[in-house]
Each structure stands twice: as structure tokens, then as C-alpha cells.
Amino acid sequence: MSQTHDANKQSSTATVVEARESLVLIQIDEDASVKKNEVGFICVGDERLKAETLRIRGRTADMQVFEDTTGVRVGDKVEMTDEMLTATLGPGLLGRVFDGLQNPLHDLAEEHGFFLPRGVSAPPLPLDEKWEFKPVAKVGSRIPPGGVLGTVQEASFTHKILVPFNEPEPVEIAWIGDGTFTLNDPIARIRSGDVERELTMLQHWPVRRPIPDPLLRRRFAERLYPDEPLTTGTRIIDTFFPIATGGTGCIPGPFGAGKTVLQSTLARYAAVDVVVVVACGERAGEVVETISLYPETKDPRTGGTLMDRTIIICNTSSMPVAAREASIYMGVTLAEYYRQMGLKVLLIADSTSRWAQAMRETSGRMEEIPGEEAFPAYLDSSIKSVYERAGVIQCPDGSHGSLTMIGTVSPAGGNFEEPVTQSTLGTVKTFLGLSYDRAYKRFYPAIDPLISWSRYLDQLKPWLSRELTTTWVDDVAQLQELLRKGDSINQMMQVTGEEGITLEDFITWQKSVLVDMAYLQQDAFDDVDACMPRERQLESMRLIKRLVDREYPFANRDDARDFFTNVIGLYKNWNYSAHGTAEYDRYKAELELATTEIKEVSP
């Protein structure tokens, strides 16, 4: 193997002296040593419960247990492994469902049934499956850490077998294989000085440590910053609140506001190669829906199913707290692994509120000084440390990989002022705030354009100006200002009625309604409108700008209302029409006509 890894390896022992739900206090043996974040196993009869060291104080240590601790008693033996919580990396990860410790849930269900006994585990990847390995490196060549040894075909992707990331310097290839191998078979032999050792297609990485950016190993190198938007096919995101490829975003919103539907749409249509979904605490019913839906959903990018290029980390709200807390780190590590191959990866964490609540429970049991609303004082730094693992890297072979991270947040009562939401907003650069009022009106997506924002607009301006139009950012700013004016006028009308505002203000409000109803909203269940390519978004943007920029000689409010109601209907029908069809051309022609003349204006 590329690294020594044996979950059952015992390097030191300890004894349980206290158990508080998922937290266990251990006494370390005199001749043993324990490290922070080291993994150990608590022996309860024939069961071995996996745990992680959180804090060490002298000869005692606190460990969070990833299983139900019923039956754990004072005096139980603890076997330490001298290893961190690690992810197993290699071909075969795509299309699989893991728990937060990377146990394959389907394999465990087949062996133990749907009610899993505690203390059981299984290899994350099928070790007996054979892969056709094609070497890229040559004997005698020196390959840097993260460099490509060879490739295997995984689903529709060319999976690159990489030099272990923890190598301190480039390695010399003494021998490299060519043919069919299992994951444990040697596929290369590397030389370091006079010492040679074998590599397999597997390697392991501690999940709480970011996989290093190869570029940053060089002196005076700077981190690459995202300069290209992530195309999602959702107009309000791509146009008003873009997320950069390799950037970060969050989707906070109350229950029932459409977070799950929106994340499914992003997973299906976003311009990425690999999707990692981390269900770190959602209700089991929603996770089951995701697991059931993805294998049946056609992937518009590959023609296969969406599950073929997806990894799901499943830790529902009913699973142990410690495993829920670890799941997001496991998901990020798997996402980083595919990024190191030069692929575009999207990680969706649903929802980070449950992850933060898991940290709060563990912190409370450790009797740490609490922060706001009893969350740990280090909540802000923990959230930042996760989102900072997103980014764009330059791989040793010259390709560029990216990890885009989007977290959904479920603040109680839709209160965006609570600590998890505020800490997240201080970290990410795109905020897509979902509104209960818009969701109640059946608006989709229920992203509120008046509270949402993106700090990427200026950063992405060169790309937007070059690929779309030089006035794109200014056009977006004008439409956002129109929406704000329309909202102010609408609030005034709630008090005074339509008669209390001028005809000019009424027309301005109707223009804002047109932008909202015809452009910002989409139909997630329509094959055409669910995803709009950027070229068509540009075409639609130009048309709607012409509609709202022109002056309208209406004599009264009824004429204005009738006109804009008709235009909204035409626009929606145009959105539903596939490009190049007769309906598409007909509705576009009628909308073009509406930008130049007004019919049936009252005298």
C-alpha cells in the first residue's frame, strides 16, 4: 500500500474511567502515549466501538465514540491504533453510499440486514475487483507527490492513480506495471535513496487535514483564485448571484423553503465532473429520497445516471452525534481526492446546522466554555477551516482541478441572525437566502433577490465581460435596483392601495414583477426550463432588459397591468419552449414585438 493502514493495529492501550453518552474519559497506561485525533477501539465484550481522541490532559483523554455507548463500563479496555481518522482513496468511490466513517452502507445492509449492529465495519472499496491499469510514468522518471502514475477507467471518467500525497519529495520509478490488478496488488515500485517500496492503487489520508495543493509546495508560489463562474443552469444564481468554480456558497432557509429540491437541481445540472453529497444530519426520509432518486435520474452530462458520478455520505439526524460531526470531513477529503486529478468537483453539505449542533453536544459534554447559544467558542474557526478547503489547484501534469463547496443551513424559524448562519456568511462569498414567503407563494427557487448577495461579481467581471457582454455586471446591478424599487412601491401599495401611487411608479412595479416572474423563477419539473444554458440566459437577459428599459405610454393602470400580464405569459411559454422549435421562434417574435409597440392603449 501507499501508506500503512490497519484499523485493528494496536499500538497502546487505555482504560475507560467515565462515560457520558457519546463521550468517554479514558486513563492512558503508563507505558503508552496517545495523540490528539488518534483513533481507538473501546472493547465491550466482543464488540469494538470506534472512537476518536478529542482532548488529552496528562494521563487522561476524552474520546468521542462513533457508536451507541450503551453497555460501556468503567474498566473496559481501549485499544489505540496510532492512526488518525482516515479516508481510503482509490478507484470505485463513485456511485457508492458511505456513512461518516466511510463504511459502505449497501455492503453492510447485505451482510447484516437493514438494522445494523454496532461495531461492524466493511472495507470502503471492493478489494477483489480488478481494474485495467495503464501506466503513464516511465521507469527512471521522477514523479512529484500527487503526480500521475497511470490511469484506470472508472465509469465515464479516467481515474488517475497518483503518487501518495504525503511523499516529502519526488519519487523515482523503479518499476511500473501494465495490466489488470486489484486494489491491493502492487502497480509500481518507487525508490528513495537505496530503499525501494511498492505502491498499490489505494492510498489513505487523514480527513481533518487538507490534501496539499501541489503548487504550494514550490517556493514563492501563490494559491490560484477562482476566475470562472460555475454554470448551474439556474438563472437567478448564474445571473444575479454567481458562484465561482472553486468557490464557496451557502443556502440558508427555513424548513419547507426548497433547499433539498435546489440542491438536487444543482447536483444534476451544475457544470462539474463529480458531485459529493454530505447528508450530515438531515432527516432519514429526505436522505432516503436522495439515495432513491439519484440512481433513477438521468445525467444530462454523461447520459448515464446521476449516481454514476456521485458519492453520498449519509449520516442522518438519528445516527450517532460523533459520526455526524466526522461526516463532513470525510466528504471534503473524498472531494479533494478527485480535485487532485484535475476534475471539477461540487460538494453539497446538507445541512451544516446539524453538523454544528453535533459539535455543540460534544462540546457541552466536555464542559468547555460555551459561546453564543451554547455553540462552542471555536464554531467560527471550525466553519472557516472546512470552507477554506475549497479552491482551484494546478496539478503536477498541468491540468486544473477545482472544489466548489455549497452548504445548506437550517436556522430555527428562518432566523438568519443565529450563530451558524452568521459564521457561515462571514466565510462564504455567495449567500443564497431562501424566503418562506416566496416558498409559500410557490416561487422556485425561493431565493430572495433582496437579501441575497455574491462577492464574486467583481472577481468574475473579466470572464463575464469577455464571454457574455461587457455590460453584464452593470445590467445586473440595474435589474437589482429595479427589484428594490419595485419592492418599496409594493410595500407602499399595501398601505395606500394602487390609487396612492403614481402611474409611473405602478409601471415600475410591473417591470419588477416581470423580472421576478419571468426571469428569476423556473420550473424544476420542466425538462426545458429546469436548466437554462448560459447562451440562452444571455439571450433572455438582453430581451428582458429591452422590455424594462423602454418607456410605455399607458393611459391608466389597467392597460399597464394587462400588457405586463400578457408579456409574463409569453415569457413563461418561451422559457418552456426548446431552442430551435417553432414555439420557441413564435414566442420570441411576439416578445420582440412587445419591445417596440403597444397595442390597444386606451385614449
The CATH number of whichever domain residue 27 belongs to comes to: 2.40.10.170
Same domain for 445 and 587? no
Q: How far apart are CA 492 and CA 69, in angstroms?
A: 59
Instruction: Please indicate, yes or no, if residue 112 is contained in any of the structural domains.
Output: no
pLDDT at 217 exceeding the cut of 80: no
The last residue of one of the domains, among 57, 83, 109, is 83
Q: CA 133 to CA 182: how far, in whole Å?
A: 10
Contacts 24+ apart (CB under 8 A), 510-513: 510/560, 510/561, 510/564, 511/482, 511/486, 511/547, 511/548, 511/564, 512/482, 512/483, 512/485, 512/486, 512/487, 513/486, 513/564, 513/568
Lowest mean pLDDT among 70-84, 102-116, 235-249, 465-479: 102-116
Is the model's pLDDT at 602 over the cut of 50?
no
- Looking at the structure, do residues 369 and 483 belong to the same domain, yes or no? no
Are 419 and 283 contained in the same domain? yes
Closest CA to 463 of 253, 278, 228, 268: 228
Same domain, 276 and 389: yes
Average pLDDT over residues 533-551: 93
Residues 182 and 73 placed together within one structural domain of the fold: no
Q: CA dihedral in degrees (581, 584, 585, 586; nearest 10)?
A: 120
Same structural domain for residues 406 and 480? no
End-to-end Cα, the chain, rounded Å: 85
Partners of 39 in the β-ladder: 52
CA-based R_g, the chain, Å: 27
Q: Which of 68, 83, 98 is the last residue of a domain?
A: 83
- Judge if the upstream peptide bond of residue 104 is cis by omega within 30 degrees of 0: no
Q: What is the mean pLDDT of the chain?
A: 91
pLDDT band at 354; cut points 50, 70, 90: confident
> In the structure, what pLDDT confidence band is assigned to residue 221 with cuts at 50, 70 and 90?
low
Q: Does residue 382 have a cis peptide bond before it, meaning omega lies within 30 degrees of 0?
A: no
* Residue 305 within any structural domain of the chain: yes
Cβ atoms of 84 and 208 closer than 8 Å: yes
pLDDT(4) > 80: no
* Residue 184 near residue 178, CB atoms below 8 Å: no
Higher pLDDT, 281 or 24: 24
User: Dihedral (C-alpha) 208, 209, 210, 213: value to the nearest 10 degrees?
Assistant: -170
Tell me the HSE value of 525 on the side-chain side, using a 13 A CA sphere: 1
Query: 148-154 and 310-315: which strand pairing?
Result: unpaired
Q: With a cut of 50, say whether residue 216 has pLDDT above it.
A: yes
Judge if 287 and 436 occupy the same domain: yes
Highest mean pLDDT among 66-70, 171-175, 194-198, 217-221 belongs to 171-175
The mean per-residue pLDDT over the stretch 194-202 comes to 92
Residue 7 has pLDDT above 60, yes or no: no
Give me 308's grid cell. 454514476
Can you tell me the mean pLDDT for 259-271? 91
CATH at residue 479:
1.10.1140.10
In a domain, 6, yes or no: no
Percent of the chain with pLDDT over 90: 72
Contacts of 451 (CB under 8 A, 6+ apart): 416, 431, 433, 435
CATH number, residue 174: 2.40.50.100
How much is the pLDDT for 284? Answer: 67
Could you say which of 397, 418, 453 is where a domain stops?
Answer: 453
Residue for grid cell 419595485: 486
The mean per-residue pLDDT over the stretch 36-57 comes to 93
Neighbours of 289 (CB within 10 A): 14
Question: Residue 538 in contact with residue 466, Cβ under 8 Å?
Answer: no
* 433 part of a folded domain: yes
Residue 314 lies in a domain: yes
**Can you read off the three cell numbers belonging to residue 215?**
503548487
| 160 domain-assigned | yes
Helices (H) and strands (E) in the chain, counts: 16, 25
The per-residue pLDDT for 112 is 87
Residue numbers of the domain that contains 19: 12-83
* Residues that constitute the known binding site for ATP: 253-260
Residues 254 and 359 in one domain: yes
Tell me the average pLDDT across 171-191.
95
| CATH number, residue 312 | 3.40.50.300
- How far is the C-alpha of 345 from the C-alpha of 535, rounded, in Å? 23
433 and 398 share one domain = yes
pTM: 0.94
pLDDT, tens digit, 9 for 90 and up, residues 285-319:
677 778 888 888 888 888 889 999 999 998 866 67
**Domains contained in the chain, number:** 4
| Within a domain: 417 | yes
For residue 63, the SS3 value is: strand
What does the buried/exposed string (b/e) look like for 298-330 if buried means 16 or more CB atoms within 10 Å of the residue's CB?
Answer: ebebeeebbbbbbbbbbbbbebbbbbbbbbbbb
Do 62 and 164 share a domain, yes or no?
no
Cell representation of residue 370:
460555551
Q: For residue 168, tell me if it sits in a domain.
A: yes
Element holding 226 (H helix, E strand): none
CA–CA distance, 506 with 557 (Å, rounded to integer): 7
What value, to the nearest 5°, has the Cα angle with vertex 507 and ends 504 and 509? 110
User: What per-residue confidence (pLDDT) applies to 102?
Assistant: 94
Residues 475 and 541 sit within 8 Å (Cβ to Cβ): yes
The label of the residue with cell 470502503 reads 124
The CA distance from 17 to 3, in Å, is 33
Q: How many CB atoms lie within 10 A of CB 198?
A: 14
- On whether both 194 and 251 belong to a single domain, the answer is no
Binding residues: 253-260
Same domain for 249 and 365?
yes
Once rounded to an integer, what is the mean pLDDT over residues 19-28?
93
**By C-alpha distance, which of 40, 27, 29 is closest to 82?**
40
